[in-house]
Amino acid sequence: MLAPGQNRDGFDRLYVPQVSYITGDIDVHDIAIDKQGRIVFVNTLFCCLATVSHTHSFAPIWRPKYISKLAAEDRCHMNGMAMVNGSPKYVTSVGMSDAADGWREHRASGGVIVDVESNEVSMTGLSMPHSPRMHEGKLYVLNSGTGYFGTIDVEKGKFEPIAFCPGYMRGLDFINGFAIIGMSKCRENRTFSGLELDDNLTKRKAEVRCGVFVVDLSTGDLVQWVRLEGAVFEMYDVAVIPGVVRPMALGLCQEAIRRTISIGDPVSL
């Protein structure tokens, strides 16, 4: 809401919610804006890509060919989406199950990356993959069940590790030759237990962390990090906002949102 050069209480950006959509509890994961200006999101409960609707909970756009129907069953736990030129290009899912909650039996090595355009599987053998992202012509992914961040050679169907991060990775962005990775502590349930990540942490005598890690893409070194403690123990995504030093966001329940008003450009009748 701030004009260029304007500040509010020392903050150089002020984000205020203006529009919301009620989808119901469909377990939305990655979200993006496509080249048509539509909100596109991963509808994990129904195992599809979808957009918002003014009259329904969602409007389906695409689903992988191994999912036989739209059903509120979280069959494959589709979670991540990589955009290319304003369109979804790749998605990640934890398995290729077509049965209700069937992905849980494939957490260790059943993860896949699917090409949205061809609806063909580009990579198999991943463990709980998240946050596929295209950056400077390369496809990056978080192989979260192992703790390794790396690239995908789509032609060979091979994962090339870059760095090990001591936590459950979710959320990936890039700036100036660095990868910014979100880290979570593991939940005390069957979703996170029994993965290679546990063994890799034990070998390194490391404890799982929650926070943000910065990885130098040229060396694979973890050059900086911020650890989050206290009430926060999980992160899902991260985003770089270039040129912003101190952003602020107002929540729907904050008193200040009632008194924060802006006027848009005039429109004709």
Express each pLDDT in 187-198 by its tens digit. Answer: 765 566 778 999
pLDDT at 191: 65
Portion of the chain with pLDDT greater than 90, in percent: 87
Q: Which of 42-46, 197-201, 229-233 has the highest mean pLDDT?
A: 42-46
pLDDT at 186: 78
Q: Are 269 and 205 in contact (CB under 8 A)?
A: no
DSSP secondary structure code for residue 11 in this structure: B
In CATH, which of 3.40.50.450, 3.40.980.10, 2.30.29.30, 2.120.10.30 is domain 13-254? 2.120.10.30
Q: How crowded is the C-beta side of 8, counted as CA atoms within 13 Å?
A: 14
- Residue 26 sits at the vertex; the CA angle it makes with 24 and 29, to the nearest 5 degrees, is 125
Cα–Cα dist 10/209, whole Å: 30
Q: Are 257 and 202 in contact (CB under 8 A)?
A: no
pLDDT at 4: 87
CA-CA-CA-CA dihedral for 139, 144, 147, 150, to nearest 10: 0
Q: Are 103 and 92 in contact (CB under 8 A)?
A: no
pLDDT at 187: 73
pLDDT at 190: 59
Enter the tokens of residue 266. Answer: 């005039």
Enter the tokens of residue 59. Answer: 């409007």
- Is the confidence at residue 121, as pLDDT, over 90? yes
Number of H helices, E strands in the chain: 1, 18
Enter the tokens of residue 43. Answer: 């509808």
pLDDT at 189: 59
Express each pLDDT in 51-82 by its tens digit. Answer: 999 999 999 999 999 999 999 999 999 999 99
Give the gyration radius of the chain's Cα atoms.
20
Quick one: pLDDT band at residue 148, thresholds 50, 70, 90? very high
Cα distance from N-terminal residue to C-terminal residue, the chain:
25
pLDDT at 40: 98
Please compute the mean of the pLDDT values over residues 175-201 and round it to a whole number: 86
User: pTM above the 0.75 mark?
Assistant: yes
Domain locations along the chain: 13-254
pLDDT at 192: 67
Average pLDDT, the chain: 94
Express each pLDDT in 99-117 by its tens digit. Answer: 999 999 999 999 999 999 9
Please compute the mean of the pLDDT values over residues 182-190 and round it to a whole number: 79
Please compute the mean of the pLDDT values over residues 199-213 and round it to a whole number: 93
Please compute the mean of the pLDDT values over residues 149-177 and round it to a whole number: 96
Close Cβ partners of 220 (under 8 Å, ≥ 6 residues apart): 162, 163
